[in-house]
């Protein structure tokens, strides 16, 4: 698999000799893992704030792969190894915040068609202005989500494979493929191959959809 999806028109490209870095501002939720882990390349006080020649291409690729939102990607120009999907698809809940997907992702549906993605943080409060992506509006809207307790789950077989996320109009995310959902402590709460995740913010069974979106008038678009 190639290391990145092709750069979208909304992406800004920072060219380096061995690796290019692309950045999508609208998908960035300012987790700042890049700045904390590789300040020679990522420095918000510098202009431009990204210097793709600031570190070895392998190090740039490694750190970019820790960007949870998928706002950052790399494109190797030196023939080096690019980012690969992890061996397992995981969905991690953020406390009173989005769901973080990490895997071999395909995101399709309402106004979106994204293939060969590896990382994304998707809105589950229902208030983002950039749905299906999180834009940190949950911090202002007071979104609260109880953290589900850990459950014993069976290891997936096969562990890997494509994870298809379908964004349903004014409804949940349909997630199909081998996946494990982790609570905010990193403990497993679900393992399986198909589920529906709430993105209206109203479910009483978060992170799962319980059809509340049909009653609360959720309008995603």
Contacts with ligand FES, residue ranges (CB under 6 A): 171-172, 198-200, 202-203, 209-213
C-alpha 215, offset from chain centre: 28
Q: Comparing C-alpha atoms, which of 209, 187, 188 is closest to residue 200?
A: 209
Backbone angles phi, psi at 156, to 5 degrees: -80, 145
Q: How far is the CB of 210 from ligand FES (least distance, A)?
A: 5
Using alpha carbons only, give the angle 110, 116, 117 rounded to the nearest 5 degrees. 70
* Type and span of the H or E element at 59: helix 57-64
Q: Which C-beta is closer to ligand FES: that of 132 or that of 171?
A: 171
Q: How far is the CB of 214 from ligand FES (least distance, A)?
A: 7
Cα–Cα distance for residue pair 170/199, rounded to 1 Å: 9
Q: Which C-beta is closer to ligand FES: that of 172 or that of 177?
A: 172
Cα–Cα distance for residue pair 6/51, rounded to 1 Å: 20
Q: How far is the CB of 171 from ligand FES (least distance, A)?
A: 5
Q: Which C-beta is closer to ligand FES: that of 64 or that of 179?
A: 179
Q: How far is the CB of 172 from ligand FES (least distance, A)?
A: 4
Q: Which C-beta is closer to ligand FES: that of 53 or that of 141?
A: 141
């Amino acid at each position: 698999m190639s290391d990145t999806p092709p750069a979208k028109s909304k992406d800004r490209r920072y060219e380096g000799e061995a690796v290019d870095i692309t950045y999508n501002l609208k998908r960035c939720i300012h987790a700042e893992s890049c700045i904390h882990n590789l300040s020679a390349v990522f420095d918000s006080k510098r202009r431009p704030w990204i210097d793709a020649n600031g570190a070895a291409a392998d190090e740039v690729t490694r750190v970019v792969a820790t960007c949870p939102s998928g706002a950052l990607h790399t494109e190797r120009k030196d023939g080096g190894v690019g980012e690969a999907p992890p061996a397992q698809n995981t969905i991690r809940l953020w406390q009173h915040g989005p769901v973080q997907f990490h895997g071999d992702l395909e995101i399709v549906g309402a106004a979106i068609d994204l293939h060969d993605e590896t990382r994304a943080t998707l809105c589950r409060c229902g208030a983002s202005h950039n749905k299906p992506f999180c834009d940190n509006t949950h911090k202002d809207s007071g979104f609260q989500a109880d953290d589900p307790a850990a459950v014993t789950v069976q290891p997936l077989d096969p562990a890997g494979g494509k994870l298809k996320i379908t964004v349903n109009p004014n409804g949940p995310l349909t997630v199909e493929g081998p996946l494990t959902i982790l609570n905010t402590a990193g403990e497993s709460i679900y393992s399986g191959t198909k589920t529906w995740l709430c993105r209206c913010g109203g479910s009483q069974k978060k992170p799962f959809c319980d059809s509340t979106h049909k009653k609360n008038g959720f309008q995603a678009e």
